[in-house]
Chains A and B, each alone.
Chain A
């Protein structure tokens, strides 16, 4: 009814009433819903928005006349897209170059409509617009169906955090409003969305140019049983607040304009109140909130919620700087120097392993190196395919290693802190969301918890031990995939070394996992702790003059590096190299089969990462040589390094 009134009744007073501001409570209207309209180039996004504004009489006086004049000047029929394509170049080329925003009110509420360009060339502009959206609409031309950018935009909207989409099937007039063609396309659309874990809220057939199905149901499509586009929008839920998530306050600045020392920042999620003890990551300093400061405030604030830009005075003057993240000490963010990101790449040069990029997370900036490109998503088949690089507009998984410790959350846990932007020199070249799959929280690993301990030096010095044993002590750290041959080589080497008179001992799963680390499982955290313990034990043996050979997968570079840091020169990293295919074929313990069947989770090489050593002291390739040869290679290395 409302639509009929709008379309047929041009009595201005009536129309003004219908398009009046959304219901408001006095002078405090609720926040509008940010709605992005995306899709492939030329599928009719700008036309849809223009027509919507026109049909709801939301345009300023004279605007339609100006657009009419612009269209006539170019010898075109009335072009609704010109309402949004404000740049002369956009109108001349008939293409949306940059994203734009327009406020629009339905009877129910107000919307900020974000028009996102569909041309591949302007994907960065599409992202700039879409990243602000609470809800998304993808426009698909019924004749062309799901095109490359339709897919890319759907996938990107999922990455940007949207969980459901409205699909508008446009240009129904071109197929004479055929239900058969629509139903066929609708089936494809729903299938595609479900494969990328998006809920399809509705598939709405319309003709934007003819104004069919937009505001009211179209008489030309009596077979359509769903709601009109406008009504579908009005059924969208309110945007979610992030109050229920763990509290996160990235520090923006520390001000000392007067005698107050104020910590300034915006609460990205959760809530804070006076008296809360804050933990600052990565400095790991703590202090409690004494007060919230504000200028010209009528009353003293006692609490603050997500979205507020606050100023806090702490009860203690601890060192804090921009980039730190404040949280409650009971639910802190992750601390790490390595993480996996699902990245959308918009740089002109491809991204490859070894690239150095600046990463911005919250208010922090970190120098990082691309450790590896894990895969690239094929947007048609949605498969993750092996890749060495991501080119402009590609999406894929990348592992980053940072110089300093980073505070972050996984995107799943907290999307406000679990996302990052990549900068190459001056340019923003990509963005991504954090996945900690396969990587551990490193919080606490670098700190000695007990404070009242002191080193006591031994009265037997290392030279005396070496002379007694006839060789140096040290750690031979074998690392490699399961099935690469670590244990076999270790046992064979131990046997031969012992025969030669070496004081030698092997640490492997059998004597560690059942004893020292019996309390640990195979999660990334537990693996890290297991390796830490083995490293410490190996160091004690080595300092006693014994040659220790360890045989553990030890997949994380940071864990091995930590042992190198504590043990120093006596640490010798030996990479036992064999392809995953070879290891999987050998599968001495039948573990790969189980991992493939999903019976074992976090299995290195299958469902958890293996990070190859960058500069090991020795590489033994067991793929093309047998146990005998491999052991000999290790023994000659030991002879060279450990004899006196």
Chain B
């Protein structure tokens, strides 16, 4: 034969591009850090992240998943965790959050409650000597997250120095840092809420049923039951959630109390090491 068969090129769509980029980031993290863990909060975003890790490592996630237990998650979330830890063959490390009394009393109430998770994470990092923790935050969730790096260095006490973020370009992430600092890795930083749901649909990724409408209300973002509130919605399946999001003007985290206690409440939480 004189001519080779021409390759028919199929362009990558937005989800393909995001998926490939996230897999690239997860593999970079695994190549660079020996002590690595992935925060599995049981929400839709971290489920997508676990799914991407399964893809990145061909079915074998080569690091543990971490869960900071406030003891105040919804029962549906604990059930989900039990089921999929087994089904997805996950090595799970659970850290109990310290009681509220041990948290900075100057924080507004919901922030103070949310900060328990930060404290548990800090303890876990110290105990297990994690060099790096993978977290499922996204730029479109909130303004300070929009300014994040993919590989984001944290100080010795997990604090985020947002005024001195390292340059990050051409997918060359920061992997050199002095002892005592560690790196938060953000593989789905570029995804939007809508991307997440479209991907969940495309890949048939299971989610906690609280996201679907029940008596005219559903949760758009999941956290502790006492500081997380549902929004009015009739979307009772993934397709309906996608159409709802295509036209909504309500912010995703509007039901998360700690974001709204003061102008910089959430920035303060994050500076102190919250995800």
Residues A44-98 near B (CB distance < 8 A): 59-63, 66, 69-70, 73, 84, 86-89, 97-98
- Are B167 and A127 neighbours in the complex by a CB distance under 8 Å? yes
Specify which chain B residues have a CB less than 8 angstroms from the CB of A419 in the assembled complex: 170
A424 to chain B: closest residue by CB: B176
- Are B54 and A426 neighbours in the complex by a CB distance under 8 Å? no
Number of interface residues of A (CB under 8 A): 76
Specify which chain B residues have a CB less than 8 angstroms from the CB of A69 in the assembled complex: 263
Contact with B along A397-436 (1 / 0, CB 8 A): 0000000000000000000000101010111100100000
Min C-beta distance of A334 to chain B, whole Å: 18
- Are A88 and B167 neighbours in the complex by a CB distance under 8 Å? no
B51 to chain A: closest residue by CB: A296
Min C-beta distance of A502 to chain B, whole Å: 56
Specify which chain A residues have a CB less than 8 angstroms from the CB of B56 in the assembled complex: 264, 309
Please report the C-alpha to C-alpha distance between residue A32 and residue B17 in the assembled complex, in whole angstroms.
10
Does residue A549 face the partner (Cβ distance < 8 Å to B)?
A: no
Specify which chain B residues have a CB less than 8 angstroms from the CB of A30 in the assembled complex: 11, 13-14
Specify which chain B residues have a CB less than 8 angstroms from the CB of A303 in the assembled complex: 7
Please report the C-alpha to C-alpha distance between residue A253 and residue B178 in the assembled complex, in whole angstroms.
24
Please report the C-alpha to C-alpha distance between residue A132 and residue B56 in the assembled complex, in whole angstroms.
23
Using a Cβ cutoff of 8 Å, how many contacts connect chains A and B? 181
With contacts A86-B146, A100-B147, A253-B27 known, is A295 near B169, CB below 8 A?
Answer: no
Contact with B along A120-149 (1 / 0, CB 8 A): 000011011011100000000000000000
Please report the C-alpha to C-alpha distance between residue A125 and residue B168 in the assembled complex, in whole angstroms.
8
Min C-beta distance of A30 to chain B, whole Å: 6
Please report the C-alpha to C-alpha distance between residue A425 and residue B177 in the assembled complex, in whole angstroms.
8
Specify which chain B residues have a CB less than 8 angstroms from the CB of A266 in the assembled complex: 20, 23-24
Does residue B2 face the partner (Cβ distance < 8 Å to A)?
A: no
Please report the C-alpha to C-alpha distance between residue A202 and residue B202 in the assembled complex, in whole angstroms.
40
Please report the C-alpha to C-alpha distance between residue A131 and residue B13 in the assembled complex, in whole angstroms.
21
Specify which chain B residues have a CB less than 8 angstroms from the CB of A29 in the assembled complex: 13-14, 198
- Are B20 and A62 neighbours in the complex by a CB distance under 8 Å? no
Number of interface residues of B (CB under 8 A): 65
Specify which chain A residues have a CB less than 8 angstroms from the CB of B59 in the assembled complex: 257, 295-296
Please report the C-alpha to C-alpha distance between residue A184 and residue B20 in the assembled complex, in whole angstroms.
46
Does residue B71 face the partner (Cβ distance < 8 Å to A)?
A: no
Specify which chain B residues have a CB less than 8 angstroms from the CB of A255 in the assembled complex: 57-58
Partner of B23, one of A70, A112, A128, A309: A309
Specify which chain B residues have a CB less than 8 angstroms from the CB of A20 in the assembled complex: 246-247
Partner of B146, one of A61, A101, A363: A101
18 A-B pairs within 8 Å (CB atoms) are namely A28-B198, A30-B14, A62-B251, A62-B254, A87-B163, A97-B163, A98-B163, A125-B165, A128-B165, A258-B60, A295-B55, A305-B10, A308-B20, A309-B21, A358-B176, A426-B178, A427-B176, A431-B169
A residues apposed to B, CB below 8 Å:
12, 16, 20-21, 27-32, 59-63, 66, 69-70, 73, 84, 86-89, 97-103, 112, 124-125, 127-128, 130-132, 160, 241, 243, 252-253, 255, 257-258, 260, 262, 264, 266, 271, 273, 293-296, 303, 305, 307-309, 311, 322, 346, 358, 360, 363, 419, 421, 423, 425-428, 431
B residues apposed to A, CB below 8 Å:
7, 9-17, 19-21, 23-24, 27-28, 30-31, 54-60, 62, 139-140, 142-144, 146-147, 149, 162-163, 165-170, 172, 174, 176-178, 190, 192, 194, 198, 201-203, 242, 246-247, 249-251, 254, 263-264, 267
Q: With contacts A100-B147, A428-B174 known, what are 20 further pairs, Cβ within 8 A? A: A21-B194, A28-B14, A62-B251, A66-B263, A87-B144, A89-B163, A100-B139, A100-B143, A103-B192, A243-B9, A260-B58, A271-B9, A294-B58, A295-B54, A295-B55, A427-B166, A428-B166, A428-B167, A428-B172, A431-B170
